[in-house]
Amino acid sequence: MTEYPSLVWHLKNTQLFEDLSDAELEQVSKITPYRHFEAGEAIYRMEDPADALYFVRDGMVKVSMYFPNGKEMILGLLGQYDIFGELLLLPSERRPNQAEAVTDTTLIVMPEDDFQTLLQKHPRIAMKFIQVMSTRLWQAQQWQAEVGAFDAPARLANLLLRLANDFGQPSERGVVVDLGLTQNDYAKMIGATRETVSHCLAQLLEFGAVRRRRTPISVDVGRLEAYLEDQNQEV
């Protein structure tokens, strides 16, 4: 069995609870158990009851939407200490998206009723939660603007830059993004086809922004930034 530092220690490292005292965190820890998910296992599905808030202890989570035609749009990838399931307070009380473990993942789970009580008792947490929601809204608006303003290679370059900054590991060949993502996964994240992503990777490889286009992909962060700067000047 994997040994973890105390739950209080993990809660202290999350954005929502970083300002609470140790005594307050001890109380919170009593209602936030760990839960483990295997790679590929659904944490919740679309239209499931919105009954909990989640914090990533370790591993990686994919948040997606599925459409009636069967197509999937990947909304984001979340890593350690990220929060998700924050739409549990919407009036519909149903999940508008799906969350799935990309790798073996351990989550800290807070039931909705306990979270609502916590918000009432601790206005500081309520303000932090508003900040989280505002950030997610801004990110969604930013991504929508990019989809409308840039072509597929620029959207892919921007995605790779974000993944490199969030999950990349420096190496002799650049920054390695080893998330097990396929070209089809990248396509689902930028609103394109797998064939388009393949052409985009070839273009970015020629520019020097991508060093290796097969999994695990390797990128040059500086060249990615330069490529996006060139695209911004053309818009």
- How far apart CA 168 and CA 217 sit, in angstroms, is 10
Both tokens assigned to 61: 């989570």
Q: Of the ranges 11-20, 42-51, 70-79, which one carries the lowest mean pLDDT score?
A: 11-20
Beta strands 98-101 and 61-66: pairing type? antiparallel
Closest residue by Cα to residue 146 from 133, 159, 137, 135? 159
C-alpha 77 chain-centroid distance? 3
Mean residue pLDDT across the chain = 88
Summarize the confidence of residues 67-82 as an average pLDDT: 89
154-158 contacts at long range (C-beta below 8 A, 24 or more positions apart): 154/227, 154/228, 154/231, 155/190, 155/191, 155/192, 156/186, 156/190, 156/192, 156/197, 156/200, 156/201, 156/204, 157/200, 157/204, 157/209, 157/224, 157/227, 157/228, 157/231, 158/228
CATH number of 150-234: 1.10.10.10
Summarize the confidence of residues 222-230 as an average pLDDT: 93
- How far apart CA 2 and CA 41 sit, in angstroms, is 19
Residue 235 has pLDDT above 70, yes or no: no
Q: How many CB atoms lie within 10 A of CB 96?
A: 12
Both tokens assigned to 47: 């239209």
Spell out the residues 6+ positions from residue 169 whose beta carbon is closer than 8 angstroms to its own: 175, 176, 178
7-140 and 150-234 have identical folds: no
What sign does the dihedral 78-104-58-212 (CA atoms) show? negative
List the chain domain ranges.
Answer: 7-140, 150-234
Helices (H) and strands (E) in the chain, counts: 8, 12
Angle CA 164–166–171, to nearest 5: 45
Question: What digits encode the pLDDT tens for the residues 8-31?
Answer: 888 888 888 888 888 888 888 888
* Per-residue confidence (pLDDT) for residue 1, from 0 to 100: 41
* Per-residue confidence (pLDDT) for residue 148, from 0 to 100: 64
Question: What digits encode the pLDDT tens for the residues 183-224?
Answer: 999 999 998 999 999 999 999 999 999 999 888 999 999 999
Percentage helix, strand, coil, to 5, in the chain?
45, 25, 30
Total-model pTM: 0.80
* pLDDT-derived band at 147, boundaries 50, 70, 90: low
Residue 100: strand pairing partners: 42, 62
H or E segment and range at residue 37: strand 34-37
Topology of domain 7-140, CATH: Jelly Rolls (2.60.120)
Which of the two residues, 4 and 56, has the higher pLDDT score? 56
